[in-house]
């Protein structure tokens, strides 16, 4: 029996996952929707999709699994539109960074609140510094050797948890099951706060009177710092994610304000000890993280080798084949 998977949104992440499934097209039918027709066509040409739909509601009617990668800020709006068309037994998987409040909203909007998981992948370390985000930059090994965080409630159906774990292994990644609140805390650290700081500094610098001349000298440093703002997924209602994760974000902002206050006081006293310590510690911390991320030294060796799914697809689809 074929499992119909509908991708709502064709970006680099979803297209890469579609590519990871391409050798199992006898058991999986991959359908894609994106508001931009060009994105769907690129994914189809790359071999990440079998079929395109121009109306998401039409694709939802036949979907056994819905994988959402449209903007995170629009997820509740999209679910309200497609919810009447979602058939019984369909699983909903969100691949966007979402706050705990959004997780709760989604479960209340879906026909089956226990048929939802957040599936948040890390990426293959060799692509970590690559800022491309479109479907044309997708790679079949985009998740190899990395991990996927799978958030669920206590009442989530075991079948969709199994789906999340098997999808991870099919993509060559290690699944890590986690509670929504814990995941929200992690996302505040590595997504929400960096994005907010990038926006604040960019806004501050470009609104200063001296920017008229500074812009002529601005180069790599400023471009790299503000590059987060160029990612399409960070341009559509980014405030929705931050509001949904406000408790964690407020806690981090308070800590940041304390550190900035200490630095300001030291500047008043013409001292440099704390500033130098902050810089040195940050440099070391980044070097350690880059090394760990490149070697994935915190992970155990896989039992299933990436790319060799064997009968993994049968396990993935086992519930429907019975």
Q: Which residues contact 60 (CB under 8 A, 6 or more apart)?
A: 6, 66, 82, 85, 86, 87, 90
Rounded Cα gap, residues 159 and 239, in angstroms: 33
The 51-52 sheet, strands edge to edge? 51-52, 28-33, 3-8, 65-68, 91-94, 116-121, 147-151, 174-178
3-state secondary structure of 117: strand
Length, in residues, of the chain: 322
List C-alpha distances in Å: 278 to 32, 204, 283.
46, 22, 9
Report the relative pairing of strands 174-178 and 91-94 from DSSP bridges: unpaired
Nearest to 178 by CA among 170, 195, 168, 48: 168
HEC readout, 40-85: HHHHHHHCCCCEECCCHHHHHCCCCEEEECCCHHHHHHHHHHHHHH
Alpha helices in the chain (DSSP H): 12-20, 37-46, 56-60, 75-82, 100-109, 158-170, 180-187, 193-207, 211-217, 220-225, 238-244, 246-268, 273-295, 312-316, 318-321
- Cβ neighbour number for residue 252 with a 10 Å cutoff: 17
Q: Which residues contact 199 (CB under 8 A, 6 or more apart)?
A: 228, 229, 238
CB 13 within 8 A of CB 6: no
HEC readout, 246-280: HHHHHHHHHHHHHHHHHHHHHHHCCCCHHHHHHHH
Rounded Cα gap, residues 179 and 183, in angstroms: 6
CB 7 within 8 A of CB 18: yes
Which pLDDT score is estimated for 64?
A: 95
Q: What global pTM score does this model have? A: 0.84
pLDDT tens for each residue of the chain, 322 residues long: 789 999 999 999 999 999 999 887 778 999 999 999 999 999 999 999 999 999 999 899 999 999 999 988 889 999 999 999 999 999 999 998 877 778 888 999 999 999 999 999 999 988 887 877 789 999 999 999 899 999 998 899 999 999 999 999 999 999 999 999 999 999 999 999 999 999 999 999 999 999 999 999 999 999 989 988 887 777 777 887 888 888 999 999 999 999 999 888 888 887 777 788 888 999 999 888 888 888 877 744 334 444 444 444 454 555 444 4
Rounded Cα gap, residues 245 and 94, in angstroms: 16
Spell 122-157 as b/e; 16+ CB within 10 A means b.
bbbbebeeeeebbbebbbbbbbbbbbbbbbbeeebb
Phi, psi for 143 (deg, rounded to 5): -110, 0
Domains of the chain: 3-178 (3.40.50.720), 183-295 (1.10.3660.10)
CB 108 within 8 A of CB 134: no
Nearest to 121 by CA among 137, 97, 152: 97
């Amino acid at each position: 029996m074929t499992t119909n998977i509908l991708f709502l949104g064709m970006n680099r992440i979803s297209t890469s996952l579609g590519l990871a499934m391409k050798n199992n097209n006898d058991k999986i039918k991959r359908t894609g929707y994106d508001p931009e027709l060009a994105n769907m066509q690129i994914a189809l040409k790359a071999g990440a999709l079998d079929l395109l739909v121009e109306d998401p509601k039409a694709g939802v009617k036949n979907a056994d699994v819905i994988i959402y990668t449209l903007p995170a800020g629009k997820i509740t709006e999209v679910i309200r539109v497609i919810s009447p068309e979602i058939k019984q037994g369909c699983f909903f998987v969100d691949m966007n960074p979402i706050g705990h409040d959004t997780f709760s909203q989604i479960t209340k909007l879906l026909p089956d609140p226990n048929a939802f998981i957040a599936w948040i992948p890390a990426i293959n370390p060799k692509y970590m510094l690559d800022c491309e985000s479109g479907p044309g930059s997708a790679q079949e090994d985009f998740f190899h050797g990395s991990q996927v965080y799978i958030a669920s409630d206590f009442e989530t159906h075991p079948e969709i948890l199994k789906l999340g774990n098997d999808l991870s292994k099919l993509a060559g990644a290690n699944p890590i099951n986690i509670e929504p609140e814990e995941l929200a805390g992690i996302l505040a650290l590595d997504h929400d706060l960096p994005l907010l700081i990038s926006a604040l500094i960019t806004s501050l610098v470009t609104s200063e009177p001296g920017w008229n001349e500074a812009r002529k000298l601005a180069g790599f440093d400023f471009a790299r710092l503000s590059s987060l703002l160029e990612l399409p997924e960070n341009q559509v209602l980014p405030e929705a994610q931050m509001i949904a994760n406000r408790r964690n974000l407020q806690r981090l902002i308070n800590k940041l304000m304390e550190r900035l206050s200490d630095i300001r006081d030291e500047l008043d006293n013409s001292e440099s000890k704390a500033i130098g310590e902050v810089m040195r510690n940050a440099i070391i911390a980044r070097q350690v993280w880059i090394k760990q991320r490149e070697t994935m030294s915190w992970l155990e060796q896989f039992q299933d080798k990436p790319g060799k799914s064997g009968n993994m697809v049968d396990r993935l689809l086992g519930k429907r084949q019975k």
